[in-house]
Chain A
Amino acid sequence: MKLALGPLLYYWPRDAVLRFYEAIAKTPVDIVYLGETVCSRRRELRLADWLNVAATLKEAGKEVVLSTQVLIESGSDVTTLHKIAEMSVHGDFMVEANDMGAVHCLEGKVPFVAGPHLNIYNLPTLQWMAALGIKRWVIPMEMGRDDLKLLQAGRPAGLETEVFAYGRMPLAFSARCFTARHYNLPKDDCQFRCIDHADGLQMRTREGEEFLVLNGIQTQSARVYNLLPEMDAMREIGVDVVRISPQSQHTPEIIDLFHQVMSNKNSAEAAMQTLTPLMPEQACNGYWYGKPGLELCGDTTLQRVAQTQ
């Protein structure tokens, strides 16, 4: 099993991003997904900057994948897509396609990763997509253990499966920027206010329950999806890659903890004890159990630890 760091979903100042990836280079993570997947207006790092970060990470022995934007709207979004696809074809790096437009630019030319937003929910679709040249696929956020088992049983040989296993889940995308809306600013003149919210903007219900996180045009779960205690279950059904999603604090420690459990150097329970205070909000794992995503299910270490905290 390998450990991956998903693309940075938030907007951080350039220096913060560069420092973050310097620290990541020193962690035991195997694969790092880079690039802006949320909003084309975010330009603290340009494509060339991401390539520099990629070079540093490669030197540190990491596999680097460039992720494409999820919601492609404008002509210039498509132009960026073309540029990324072209570089991938030249062998610079592999791409995570997060939209069928990206798939169209890559299929048959170069192996690529099918990202978590391509809606691969069943075996006929997985098999059909695999024939286009997918090296790895990331399961949908909504997919549970039982459905995954069915797909694993019929997946084409050599195709790797990756599971989003830690972090606030990207649940929805919109043409509207909810951060700009919060500040009563039009999206075209958003003043890049999302840069002030390193882990997004918390949205609470009227009785104070942390519900969702507004991250520009993306909406995330407030609760943190956490499958650390499911490491053995994931291994058992042949999951190849476990994804951690970046947060502004403690990401290297979280990678370490996942790595310890993955390599049997630490028990899931002990790792969870250390991990719990590092989470920005309480844990959830409902999707994995085929339940509402925000629930915490199963007789898991997660629950026991949650109860003792």
Chain B
Amino acid sequence: MAYAISDMNSNNDHSPAPVAAPLELVCPAGSLPALKAAIDNGADCVYLGFRDATNARNFAGLNFDEAAITNGIRYAHDRGRKVFVALNTYPQAANPQAWCLAIDRAAQSGVDAVILADPGMMAYAAKRYPELRLHLSVQGSATNYEALNFYHEHFGIVRAVLPRVLSLTQVEQVLEKTPIEIEVFGFGSLCVMVEGRCALSSYVTGEAPNTNGVCSPPKAVRWQETPQGRESRLNGVLIDRYAAGENAGYPTLCKGRFDVGDEENYYAIEEPTSLNTLALLPQLMKMGVRAIKIEGRQRSPAYVAQVTKVWREAIDNCRENPHRYSAKPVWMTDLDKVAEGQQHTLGAYHRPWK
């Protein structure tokens, strides 16, 4: 594991290299089996949500009730790993108390941190549970050091997950000017829009990440066989149409094919693809990124196991030999198998993507 390798490095004969804080691997747990899969395959931390609209993966059959969370925390803590609870939607006007109760539940259950997006909730958590570690969710949409430091100064936020909009250079610039630990996305479905400031889903379906913890919700999806091909619709809006033999993907509305000007039937916003930053690990470690987040609480325990295993190996490999590190083809193949659209991108970290 990473910690042991770190000790070995600092005890060798060469001039003492500065011992960087270990890079944590933070993995998704949409269910207790997924949590165990993540821990068994080497996750340092898992993140999960309650079974309601207080988290951004509010899907039927997902997430944790009281018994599952107690079990999950015990399973993780017995093995020296951490549990974060995502309470990262914005409390709605009619019932903000539900979100405060969720903070109470999380704090009392003994989790290692809560992941928040809403300033009102942060104020509540900081006042009521001064010992509770607060992380800023990607839904908090802080893309620059002024925004990060705002949350740090007011609420003592200790870690922030950066939205997937910054290039590597920009991530580094942010790291230089904030005392907050930085967590970045390493793998998973890619939001092309800056998280926390996208209302496309509510425009079409009435429900969105900020308000309801969902994007392009399943209940708004309709599949239809037509003479032109198989069609996917979201609340009646045609998102994509597939020719015979084409792989049909989930109709996330920004990943459909549309017409713009004279150009017809192209991915005007983004292809169905996954973010994969395995190739960037040495740079991310060197610049002082504190944690890598894997997306996918809506995915199966098998997905979590596969992705966690590859990333554990990659991180350990990179810590041991940062100069000789390269992403192994077998890792990439294994990850592409479970990737959205079976393909990957470096996303905004790689400037030409923009």
Chain B residues in 8 Å Cβ range of A293: 199, 202-204, 206
Q: Which of B193-245 contact A (CB under 8 A)?
A: 193-194, 196-200, 202-206, 208, 210-211, 235, 237-241
A290 nearest CB neighbor, chain B only: B206
Option from B118, B193, B259 in Cβ contact (under 8 Å) with A121: B118
How near does chain A come to B189, taking the closest CB pair, in angstroms? 15
Given contacts A71-B194, A119-B196, contact A124 B144 (CB under 8 A): no
Residue among A99, A104, A128, A214 facing the most chain B CB atoms (10 A cut-off)? A104
How near does chain A come to B101, taking the closest CB pair, in angstroms? 13
Residue among A78, A123, A188 facing the most chain B CB atoms (10 A cut-off)? A78
CA separation between A100 and B239, bound complex, in Å?
A: 33
CA separation between A205 and B238, bound complex, in Å?
A: 6
Q: Is the interface of B mostly helix, strand, loop or mixed?
A: mixed
Option from B119, B203, B204 in Cβ contact (under 8 Å) with A169: B203
Question: What number of B residues sit within 8 Å (CB to CB) of A?
Answer: 70
Contact A174 B259 (CB under 8 A): no
Cβ of A294 within 8 Å of any chain B Cβ, yes or no, is yes
CA separation between A244 and B306, bound complex, in Å?
A: 51
Option from A78, A117, A148, A211 in Cβ contact (under 8 Å) with B145: A78
Chain A residues in 8 Å Cβ range of B90: 119, 121-122, 125
Option from B198, B205, B354 in Cβ contact (under 8 Å) with A176: B354
CA separation between A265 and B69, bound complex, in Å?
A: 61
Given contacts A209-B238, A214-B268, A292-B203, contact A176 B144 (CB under 8 A): no
Chain B binder among A11-19, A21-29, A44-52, A177-185: A177-185
CA separation between A204 and B197, bound complex, in Å?
A: 22
CA separation between A127 and B167, bound complex, in Å?
A: 35
**A interface, how many residues as a size bin?**
35 or more
Contact A74 B258 (CB under 8 A): no
Cβ of B351 within 8 Å of any chain A Cβ, yes or no, is yes
Cβ of A201 within 8 Å of any chain B Cβ, yes or no, is yes
CA separation between A55 and B124, bound complex, in Å?
A: 43
CA separation between A181 and B264, bound complex, in Å?
A: 14
Chain B residues in 8 Å Cβ range of A107: 150
Contact A214 B260 (CB under 8 A): yes
Given contacts A142-B208, A171-B198, contact A121 B149 (CB under 8 A): no
Residue among B94, B193, B203, B269 facing the most chain A CB atoms (10 A cut-off)? B203
Cβ of B16 within 8 Å of any chain A Cβ, yes or no, is no
Cβ of B147 within 8 Å of any chain A Cβ, yes or no, is yes
A286 nearest CB neighbor, chain B only: B206
Cβ of A238 within 8 Å of any chain B Cβ, yes or no, is no
Q: A202-B260, A290-B206 are in contact. List 20 more A-B contacts (CB 8 A).
A: A73-B166, A99-B144, A123-B93, A125-B90, A128-B120, A140-B210, A142-B199, A172-B197, A172-B199, A172-B200, A172-B254, A175-B354, A176-B348, A182-B261, A188-B351, A203-B268, A204-B259, A206-B265, A292-B203, A294-B203
Chain B residues near A (Cβ < 8 Å): 90-94, 96, 117-121, 123-124, 140-147, 149-151, 153, 164-167, 170, 173, 192-194, 196-200, 202-206, 208, 210-211, 235, 237-241, 254, 257-261, 263-265, 268-270, 348, 351-354
6 nearest A-B pairs in the assembled complex, by CB-CB distance: A101-B146, A124-B120, A125-B120, A175-B165, A147-B93, A104-B150
Q: List 5 A-B contacts (CB under 8 A).
A: A125-B91, A187-B351, A201-B260, A211-B258, A214-B260
